[in-house]
């Protein structure tokens, strides 16, 4: 990982799409500071397309798409995208699975929920679970006392033994049935909303992704201009980002916004 300050000016000036994680990337200690919203607003006003790509639930993502200065949002680690048409007051969306498929998955996830809570002492169901449509989020440090790495690994194992995909964020282990992830839905989102293919090398070069944790690794691996806020160093990643900020969390995100905006003045 190279310092963000070495990100070449010409490459920063070419960026048109800013994809970003939320928790511990735009937030600090669970709070979204006004500086992060101001950074989103400034990026949008500068003409960049801003797309949060998060593990947070559908209920939150509806709010984010409607009320934040963003152009679309990918939620539940790739289960769907939402984009609010402000002119027509209509929420547009796309899902990785049908309603019937998600309902069938929910019954299987409920079985896994009981098993994980019985076998991993101290784990809890995430407080935002009621607003989810596709996955099960197991809390290991947001509203419960932090669990150690061994416990987190056991949660992952239990999901996988049940046939689910499991991804670790900075606060939750998310499990779901299917092969989608943040990257696969980001690909669909940008194609359907902006008419671009991130598989095109030129479009890839026009995009940045900002993240902080293991569930961001598909994005780190794919995007040439991937950026980690400094707390990404807290994890052992097989595919780390190309660039890293000097500061952690929301302050690091503010660094990214400043780096993209200063070349547009």
Up-side HSE of residue 176: CA atoms within 13 Å toward CB? 29
The pLDDT assigned to 203 comes to 92
Residues 170 and 238 in one domain: no
**Helices within 97-139 (DSSP H only):** 99-119
Q: Is residue 145 over pLDDT 90?
A: yes
- The total domain count for the chain is 2
Q: Is residue 218 over pLDDT 80?
A: yes
Domain final residue, candidates 176, 206, 237: 176
Give the Å distances, CA to CA, from 163 to 140, 146, 169: 21, 26, 19
Residues 188 and 258 in one domain: yes
Task: State the residue range of the domain holding 170.
Answer: 100-176
Full-model pTM: 0.95
Closest to 50 (Cα-Cα) out of 262, 264, 265, 260: 260
Backbone angles phi, psi at 113, to 5 degrees: -55, -50
Average per-residue pLDDT for the chain: 97
* Mean predicted confidence (pLDDT) in 84-103: 97
Residues 20 and 59 in one domain: yes
Residues 191 and 256 in one domain: yes
Q: Is residue 265 over pLDDT 90?
A: no
Domain final residue, candidates 176, 195, 225: 176
Residues 229 and 190 in one domain: yes
The pLDDT assigned to 222 comes to 98
Closest to 123 (Cα-Cα) out of 151, 163, 165, 85: 151
Kindly state the tokens that stand for 215. Answer: 């569930």
- Which residues, in sequence order, are CB contacts of 102 under 8 Å at separation 6+? 95, 133, 134
Closest to 72 (Cα-Cα) out of 63, 80, 82, 62: 82
Structure letter (DSSP) for residue 122: T
* Mean predicted confidence (pLDDT) in 111-136: 98
* Mean predicted confidence (pLDDT) in 143-149: 97
The edge-to-edge listing of strands for the beta sheet with 172-176 is 124-125, 136-139, 172-176, 165-168
The pLDDT assigned to 252 comes to 98
How many whole angstroms separate alpha carbon 151 and alpha carbon 99? 32
Residues 49 and 171 in one domain: no
Q: Is residue 33 over pLDDT 80?
A: yes
Q: Is residue 192 over pLDDT 80?
A: yes
Predicted confidence (pLDDT) per residue in 226-237, tens digit: 999 999 999 999
* Mean predicted confidence (pLDDT) in 10-31: 97
How many whole angstroms separate alpha carbon 113 and alpha carbon 156? 12
Residues 195 and 254 in one domain: yes
Domain final residue, candidates 176, 206, 228: 176
């Amino acid at each position: 990982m190279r310092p963000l300050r070495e990100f070449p000016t010409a490459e920063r000036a070419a960026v048109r799409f800013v994809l970003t994680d939320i928790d511990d990337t735009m937030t600090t200690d669970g709070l979204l500071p006004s500086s992060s919203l101001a950074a989103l607003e400034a990026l949008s006003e500068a003409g960049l397309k801003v797309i949060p790509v998060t593990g947070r639930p559908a209920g939150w993502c509806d709010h984010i798409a409607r009320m934040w200065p963003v152009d679309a949002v990918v939620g539940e680690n790739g289960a769907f995208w939402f984009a609010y048409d402000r002119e027509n007051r209509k929420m547009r969306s796309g899902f990785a699975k049908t309603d019937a498929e998600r309902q069938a998955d929910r019954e299987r996830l409920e079985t896994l929920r009981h098993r994980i809570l019985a076998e991993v002492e101290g784990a809890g169901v995430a407080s935002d679970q009621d607003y989810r449509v596709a996955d099960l989020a197991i809390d290991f440090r947001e509203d419960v006392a932090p669990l150690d790495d061994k416990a987190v690994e056991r949660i992952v194992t239990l999901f996988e033994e049940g046939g689910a995909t499991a991804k670790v964020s900075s606060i939750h282990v998310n499990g779901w049935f299917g092969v989608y992830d943040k990257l696969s839905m980001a690909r669909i989102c940008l194609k359907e909303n902006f008419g671009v293919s991130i598989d095109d090398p030129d479009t890839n070069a026009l995009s940045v992704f900002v993240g902080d944790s293991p569930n961001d690794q598909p994005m780190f691996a794919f995007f040439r201009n991937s950026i980690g806020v400094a707390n990404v160093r807290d994890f052992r990643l097989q595919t780390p980002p190309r660039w890293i900020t000097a500061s952690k969390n929301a302050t690091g995100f503010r660094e990214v916004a400043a780096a993209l905006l200063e070349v547009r003045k």
